Amino acid sequence: MSDLLIFSGRVSLPLAEKISQGFNNKLSPLEIKNFADGEIWLKYNTNLRGKTVFIIQSTNPPADNLMELLIALDAAKRASAKQVIAVIPYFGYARQDRKDQPRVSITAKLIANLLTKAGADKVIALDLHANQIQGFFDIPFDNLFASSILIPYWRKLEIPNLAIVAPDMGASKSASYWAKKLHADLIVIDKRREQHNQSHIINIIGNPNGKNLLIVDDIIDTAGTFAGAVEALVKAGAGDIYASFVHPVLSNLAYDKLKRITDQNWIKKITVTDSIPLPQNFINISSLEIISVAPLLAEAIRRVYNNESISSLFDQEEMKK
């Protein structure tokens, strides 16, 4: 692996350091600074000519994280790297993947264009919000699933009388997959979203009474959907309630909601991954536990570098969701 180089933007540095442990701590230095006005300056302190370069960076807000990745891709390409692969643990701006009303942007497609134009030869991502976003790219794209790490974790807990809960219709296919793998029942929350970050529950499809429940979804942002689902399930007679999310976006609106349901002992445990660093103010929420996706991403990087198949890292049933 003499021509393998792994770099990281600032937001993903903690995760990248874990990933690099699988490569004898082979995380190469990347110098990044900001000018007084906030403009980003970036420099590779390693010769990239003829090298295979992996750049790890999530693109969650603020937009500087995306700009950092674009600049890093451009600089690597201009430094004559043989191949430049963007490893994006959290693909930001993915929730706007279609023109669902007049005069709006399809930002997922815009980001795809920007990444390609900046010099990415390939993209590796984790749990895209919508799988069809892969079709926006004209370069190879691999979408990994954190369920390959999360499901074994929850299986080991051996929670009795378990049902998997989809907090909305959009999560129902993924929840159905979890239910099949964990031999559990399936419950779906029917909600209506009146505007961004605001929704209310209409109906619970399935019977949560007396069951222990595991709520699963890809993103937790304001926690409004999650908190509303927990409250409705408690009222419906649920037993212990757990939750598992991949990407802890966790905007400031989420803190009070999570604190409230935790303080009332409505939730036993919430797992999230380290695809995004957990916001500092959420660390003191005792029910939150972080599960690292570094082993999954490290194995994907190793296989891509060795030109090996990574299809076994995708569960074929999961890819159909």
Cα(252)–Cα(281) distance, integer angstroms: 9
Q: Which of 33, 122, 181, 191 is catalytic?
A: 191
For Cα atoms 155, 156, 158, give the angle at the middle one, nearest 5 degrees: 70
Cα(7)–Cα(86) distance, integer angstroms: 10
Sheet holding 185-195, edge to edge: 198-205, 185-195, 162-166, 212-220, 241-248, 269-273, 288-291
Q: Give the residue among 128, 153, 155, 176 at the shortest CA–CA distance from 275.
A: 128
181 catalytic, yes or no?
Answer: no
Q: Give the residue among 175, 91, 147, 171 at the shortest CA–CA distance from 296.
A: 147
Cα(79)–Cα(208) distance, integer angstroms: 57
Residue 124 phi, psi (nearest 5): -115, 125
Which positions are catalytic?
191
